[in-house]
Amino acid sequence: MHQPALFMLLGLLLSVSAMAETTEDALDPQRQAELETLLYQDCGSCHGMTLRGGLGPALPRDRMEGFSVEALAHIIQYGIPGSAMPAWKALLSDDEARWLAEHLRTDNRLQTLQQD
């Protein structure tokens, strides 16, 4: 039976191609660490340090997946006019906003609001 090995190879290929689509490569590891700190501290000052919500709504991964990376990056860059959600364009490059958007949809520490 060679099927399990075939599936593993397929899985590997899929994860490699998924990785190639992210902007992870565009930013150096130190900047990525800074952005992660920014997300949980600066964004966290409104959305909660664990992103469970506060002045701003909770940002769990399962809800963030409902947005495209482009939509999230746009919200981050331009804010939400008429609300307390500020624009981050002066502080973040396009790649950095995309990194945060991808992080919210994939590496988000808060998977779902139901999580303990």
- Contacts with ligand HEC, residue ranges (CB under 6 A): 39, 42-43, 45-47, 55-57, 59, 72, 75-76, 80, 83-86, 88, 100
**Closer residue to ligand HEC in complex, CB, 15/45:** 45
Residue 107 three-state SS: coil
3-38 burial code (b ≥16 CB/10 A, e <16): eeeeeeeeeeeeeeeeeeeebbeebeeeebeebeeb
DSSP string, 62-94: HHHTTS-HHHHHHHHHH--TTSS----TTT--H
Q: Smaller CB distance to ligand HEC: residue 15 or 68?
A: 68
Q: How far is the CB of 100 from ligand HEC (least distance, A)?
A: 5
Q: How far is the CB of 13 from ligand HEC (least distance, A)?
A: 31
Closest distance to ligand HEC from the beta carbon of 112 (Å): 14
Closest CB to ligand HEC among residues 19, 55:
55
